[in-house]
């Protein structure tokens, strides 16, 4: 592998090394200037070298765009804020020749909708680029604060930083003429962190775009040495348990009560179903007593009772993570069978709700990862391997997996996502923009990957 020359090459290699060993990439100073005539590695074409140089030369513009986006509060249910971030990115995409529309959601969903942008053409692979506009946290305390090459704020890494990396790549492709004749659809959802219900409507525009595309590239958080071609799906479950209320002195003769039955069920889940790293089932919220009440958000349970009363009710809310739909179905069947084996004097019922589908590994996905690996090596960032599917949460790319080949993790590197301490290494904008741009150029001008069957 030929090394990048000059100060920028040292920056890139140090950033890559920090991320490869799993340490947070520290404040690596950017070079004062980017040489216009920096030699391209032998494995890059002249156009790819120009694409790379454009990304580097416009890094300041990318950071400025990220600061603007982060300073717009856009929690998932802040519909006005999400729309404002969408308007900001609409300006960028319109300038690149995209036709942009806003996909509205019904007011009852309390979600802002999605940005959908498209360039129509016939050359090469039809690309679907996926991002999202909403954040988990928001507010004045979550505004953009820069400390050398680290920036903090809501969405800096998850995933306004990824959205900006996508736009940086598209800018470079447009400036070098590589977008001409291509078909690219951009979908930035407004509710990835808390998807609206019903999901069939919330993700309709994304799935419609997938049906007209060949390859999906998603820009959730990235690392130098990893990308995701397989992700687990997620679903929820609720366990409702009842028992005979009586004096506690008769707990082992008059019926075991709801709490013991709940404990039996949960422990049997653990003993009989645990062991496969791609399958997890977590009881996230548990309550039992004389009464159990749910709040309006569905995320809080309040229990009341006395120690001398056999508890007549218990409730558990949990999630189920799986790699294949068949695995989800068989696990649900086993969980139902365990629930049905009641302790004396008790009854129980478990119900399930679907959320994010699974994105199982495919041969086409492995080929796409191999192409990304070649791009990363050519740019001097070193090899890229696939993330273990159990290492990442669910994401929007999973919704399109039945229709095309997809890869996630093309975004920026940061820390503390889904927390008030979220941050991004601004140098990773360069890496993410370069790698995405060159990969897209090769996909547009190279052979199309085989489409998986729905």
345 part of a folded domain: yes
Task: Answer whether residue 21 shows pLDDT above 70.
Answer: no
Rounded Cα distance, 419 and 136, in Å = 8
pLDDT of the residue at 297: 66
207 and 305 part of one domain: no
Note whether 444 and 124 are within 8 A (CB). yes
Burial label for 441, CB within 10 Å (0-12, 13-18, 19+), is buried
CATH of the domain at 95: 3.40.630.10
Q: Is the dihedral of CA 368, 374, 376, 378 positive or negative?
A: negative
323 part of a folded domain: yes
Task: Answer whether residue 39 shows pLDDT above 70.
Answer: no
342 and 382 part of one domain: no
pLDDT of the residue at 392: 74
Among candidate residues 356, 390, 414, the one where a domain is terminated: 356
270 part of a folded domain: yes
Going by pLDDT thresholds of 50, 70 and 90, the confidence category of residue 40 is very low
224 and 239 part of one domain: no
84 and 198 part of one domain: yes
- Least trusted range by pLDDT, from 32-46, 198-212, 284-298, 364-378: 32-46
Q: What is the pLDDT of residues 180-209, one digit of tens each?
A: 999 999 999 999 998 999 999 999 999 999
412 and 294 part of one domain: no
451 part of a folded domain: no
Task: Say whether 269 sits in a helix, a strand or coil.
Answer: helix
pLDDT of the residue at 418: 87
31 and 134 part of one domain: yes
173 and 30 part of one domain: yes
Average pLDDT, the chain: 89
CA angle, 233 then 270 then 246, to 5° = 115
If one compares 392 and 114, the residue with the highest pLDDT of the two is 114
Going by pLDDT thresholds of 50, 70 and 90, the confidence category of residue 38 is very low
137 and 92 part of one domain: yes
Radius of gyration of the chain (CA): 25
Q: What is the pLDDT of residues 50-68, one digit of tens each?
A: 999 999 999 999 999 999 9
48 and 68 part of one domain: yes
Rounded Cα distance, 335 and 147, in Å = 49
pLDDT of the residue at 449: 65
450 part of a folded domain: no
Q: Torsions phi, psi of 315, nearest 5?
A: -135, 140
Going by pLDDT thresholds of 50, 70 and 90, the confidence category of residue 443 is very high
340 and 403 part of one domain: no
Q: Give pTM, 2 decimals.
A: 0.82
Strands (E), 63-222: 99-103, 114-119, 123-132, 145-147, 150-152, 182-189, 215-218
Q: What is the pLDDT of residues 102-129, one digit of tens each?
A: 999 999 999 999 999 999 999 999 999 9
Going by pLDDT thresholds of 50, 70 and 90, the confidence category of residue 452 is low
pLDDT of the residue at 451: 57
243 part of a folded domain: yes
Q: How far is CA 121 from the centre of its chain?
A: 28
CATH of the domain at 256: 3.30.70.360
1 part of a folded domain: no
Q: What is the percent of the chain with per-residue pLDDT over 90, rounded to a whole number?
A: 80
Q: Torsions phi, psi of 329, nearest 5?
A: -65, -45
Q: Is the dihedral of CA 411, 416, 421, 427 positive or negative?
A: negative
Task: Say whether 69 sits in a helix, a strand or coil.
Answer: helix
Q: What is the pLDDT of residues 232-264, one digit of tens each?
A: 999 999 999 999 999 999 999 989 999 999 999
Domain enclosing residue 48, as ranges = 6-231+359-445
Provide the token pair at 120.
């129509």
Among candidate residues 318, 335, 356, the one where a domain is terminated: 356
Q: What is the pLDDT of residues 129-184, one digit of tens each?
A: 999 999 999 988 899 999 999 999 999 999 999 999 999 999 999 999 999 999 99
220 and 273 part of one domain: no
Q: Torsions phi, psi of 24, nearest 5?
A: -65, 135
452 part of a folded domain: no
Count structural domains, the chain: 2
Going by pLDDT thresholds of 50, 70 and 90, the confidence category of residue 337 is very high
51 and 76 part of one domain: yes
Q: How many Å from the N-terminal Cα to the C-terminal Cα in the chain?
A: 39
Going by pLDDT thresholds of 50, 70 and 90, the confidence category of residue 26 is very low
Among candidate residues 330, 356, 382, the one where a domain is terminated: 356
């Amino acid at each position: 592998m030929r090394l990048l020359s000059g100060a920028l090459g040292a920056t890139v290699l140090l950033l890559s090394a920090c991320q490869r060993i799993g340490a947070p990439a520290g404040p690596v100073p950017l070079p004062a200037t980017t040489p216009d005539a920096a030699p391209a590695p032998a494995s890059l074409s002249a156009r790819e070298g120009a694409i790379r140089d454009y990304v580097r030369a416009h890094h300041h513009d990318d950071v400025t765009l990220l600061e603007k986006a982060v300073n717009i509060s856009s929690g998932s249910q802040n519909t006005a804020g999400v729309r404002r971030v969408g308007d900001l990115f609409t300006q960028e995409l319109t300038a690149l020749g995209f036709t942009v529309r806003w996909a509205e959601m019904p007011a009852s969903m309390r979600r802002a909708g999605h940005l959908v942008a498209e360039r129509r053409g016939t050359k090469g692979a039809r690309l679907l680029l996926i991002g999202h506009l909403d954040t988990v946290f928001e507010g004045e305390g979550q505004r953009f604060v820069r400390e050398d090459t680290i920036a903090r704020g809501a969405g800096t890494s998850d995933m306004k930083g990824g959205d900006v990396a996508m736009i940086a790549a598209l800018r470079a492709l447009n400036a070098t003429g590589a977008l001409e004749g291509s078909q690219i659809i951009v979908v930035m959802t407004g509710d990835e962190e808390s998807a609206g219900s019903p999901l069939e409507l919330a993700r309709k525009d994304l799935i419609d775009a997938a049906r007209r595309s060949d390859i999906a590239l998603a820009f959730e958080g990235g690392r130098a040495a990893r990308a995701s071609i397989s992700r687990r799906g997620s679903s929820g479950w609720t366990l409702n348990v009842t028992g005979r209320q009586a004096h506690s002195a008769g707990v082992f003769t008059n019926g075991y009560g709801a709490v013991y039955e709940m404990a039996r069920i949960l422990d049997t889940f653990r003993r009989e179903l645990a062991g496969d790293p791609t399958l997890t089932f977590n009881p996230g919220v548990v309550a039992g007593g004389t009464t159990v009440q749910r709040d309006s958000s569905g995320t809080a349970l309040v229990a009341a009772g006395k120690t001398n009363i056999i508890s007549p009710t218990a409730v558990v809310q949990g999630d189920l993570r799986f790699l294949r739909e068949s695995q989800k179905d068989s696990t649900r069947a086993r969980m139902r069978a365990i629930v049905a084996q009641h302790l004396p004097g008790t009854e129980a019922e478990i119900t399930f709700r679907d959320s994010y589908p699974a994105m199982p590994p495919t041969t086409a996905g492995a080929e796409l990862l191999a192409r990304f690996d070649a791009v990363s090596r050519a740019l001097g960032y070193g090899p890229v391997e696939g993330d273990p599917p159990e290492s990442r949460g669910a994401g929007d790319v999973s919704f399109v997996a039945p229709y095309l080949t997809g890869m996630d993790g093309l975004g920026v590197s940061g820390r503390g996502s889904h927390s008030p301490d979220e941050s991004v290494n601004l140098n990773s904008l360069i890496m993410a923009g370069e790698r995405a741009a060159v990969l897209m150029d090769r996909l547009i001008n190279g052979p199309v990957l085989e489409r998986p069957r729905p």
